[in-house]
Amino acid sequence: MNKVSLLIGPVNQLVTAKSIPWRHGDSVIIIEEAGVAVNGHEVIDVGPWREISRRYEGKCRVSAEDSLVTAGLIDPHTHLLFAGSREDELELKLQGTPYEEILKRGGGIYRTVNETVNASDEELRGILLSRLLEVAKYGTTTIEVKSGYGISPKEEIRLLRIINDAAGEALIDVIPTYLIHVPPRNMNRVEYINAVTASLDQAKELAKFIDVFCDDGAFTVNETRAILNEASLRGFKLRLHADEIAYIGCSDLVNEFNLTSLDHLLNMPEQNAKAMALRGSTATLLPATVLSLMSSKRPPVKALKDSGVPIALGSDFSPNTWVLNMQYVMELATYLLGMTPLEVLMASTVNAAYSLGFRDRGILQPGYLANMVIWSIPNYKWLSYELGRNKALMTISRGIILESKPTNPNVTKECS
């Protein structure tokens, strides 16, 4: 008998991708009556429970006979760090005022910038940590967090430092991104881009990615190109808010740069799907923002799938799209974007890992990080079938059980 730190089983069903990324049509691993052996941070074995239970003895054992187990959820696109809220803009939107118009009037992002730059480090750190605790309750084990509500490089660096500090304390993994969000209202745009460029060396140790909001009302293609050029020279990984509000050519930049991910894509021309596939870029889709923008547009899901582009899902949590619950995003992906429960699971685990440039998570196989969710549903088809209930019973991050709702009598946890 091998001794391990955590033994999970029997569970009703285990579903995981075989490798990173998962493309439409790839087969997956489905094990009924499954078990998982974890030692420390790592998964060391996965298989039918009758075999796993013969091979391993766990210091702790979780049994969840009626449950599904999957890799932990990953949210690869969030604006988690800001102060204040914008609930009053909802009424403006309902009256038909477009997002770009609210922004032009100094509302939207600009308003959140005001509130954020006036908040202290301590306040912002507290806000961020409480949001990080909340997302784990819904199964998120790795999350990207963008800066972007500072605008001035000095403020953006402050926000990145706060993200890094919180990352050191959080129970889940936090991936910082420096987002060049919107041009300042009272500064020459060329001067601003020069100032951003000058801040990149300082940002290097604070952010894995550079992201630019390339769109009508934000940065032009030329401005975005200038920023991405400087960022790639300094070895940053790149991601892009592209074609969210309108198509002004932003997604075409996939032909010029190694973009780890292009996000939103509500107005992307279908032919760019082929270029994305060729370059190995992820399409990170954000269906909650389709709702919050009250948009009738949809990303070209079929073209992306047919071209073999890995599709990921993200929450886009922001004052415009207040959603910390990745399960809700998964449900919306089915009902708004036509993605099947299996596609949705792959998009929020293995492909979300790919979207963040990871090869060590998103899959439940030996050698991968022991990030998992035990779900209070019998099989993966329930993932986006059942709406509106928190279906995560237990969130496990790096082999540690974070969230446990022992209300289900068929789930037990025992430690010796």
Please, which residue, 49 or 213, has the CB nearer to ligand NIG? 213
Nearest of 105, 270, 250, 97 to residue 180 by alpha carbon: 250
Residues 6+ apart with CB under 8 A from 165: 125
Please tell me whether residue 78 binds ligand NIG under the rule CB under 6 A. no
Options 287, 310, 314, 319; binder of ligand NIG; rule CB under 6 A:
319
| CA dihedral of 272, 329, 261, 171, whole degrees rounded to 10 | -170
| Smallest distance, ligand NIG to C-beta of residue 109, A | 4
* Closest chain position to ligand NIG (CB): 320
Q: Residue 87 CB: number of other CB atoms within 10 A?
A: 9
The single-letter code of the amino acid at 236 is: F
- What's 314's DSSP letter? -
| Smallest distance, ligand NIG to C-beta of residue 352, A | 16
∠ CA 272-275-280, nearest 5°, is 125
Options 63, 67, 267, 289; binder of ligand NIG; rule CB under 6 A:
289
109 binds, among ligand NIG, Fe ion, none (CB under 5 to 8 A by kind): ligand NIG
Nearest of 244, 271, 320 to residue 89 by alpha carbon: 320
89 binds, among Fe ion, ligand NIG, none (CB under 5 to 8 A by kind): none
Q: Name the segment binding ligand NIG (CB under 6 A); options: 195-203, 223-231, 313-321, 337-345.
A: 313-321
153-169 and 121-137 helices cross at what angle (nearest 10)?
A: 50
| Smallest distance, ligand NIG to C-beta of residue 74, A | 17
Please, which residue, 24 or 241, has the CB nearer to ligand NIG? 241
305 binds, among Fe ion, ligand NIG, none (CB under 5 to 8 A by kind): none
Please tell me whether residue 239 binds ligand NIG under the rule CB under 6 A. no
| Smallest distance, ligand NIG to C-beta of residue 159, A | 14
Nearest of 380, 316, 355 to residue 22 by alpha carbon: 355
Total residues contacting ligand NIG by CB under 6 A comes to 12
Please, which residue, 58 or 319, has the CB nearer to ligand NIG? 319
Options 320, 327, 348, 355; binder of ligand NIG; rule CB under 6 A:
320
Sites for ligand NIG among residues 187-226 (CB under 6 A): 213
375 binds, among ligand NIG, Fe ion, none (CB under 5 to 8 A by kind): none
Cα–Cα distance between 69 and 372 in angstroms, integer?
Answer: 7
Task: Report the DSSP pairing between strands 400-404 and 392-397.
Answer: antiparallel
Please tell me whether residue 34 binds ligand NIG under the rule CB under 6 A. no
Per DSSP, helices labelled H in 138-188 are: 153-169
Nearest of 117, 246, 234 to residue 184 by alpha carbon: 117
Nearest of 21, 15, 18, 17 to residue 34 by alpha carbon: 15
- The residues binding ligand NIG (CB under 6 A) are 79, 108-109, 112, 213, 241, 244, 289, 316, 318-320
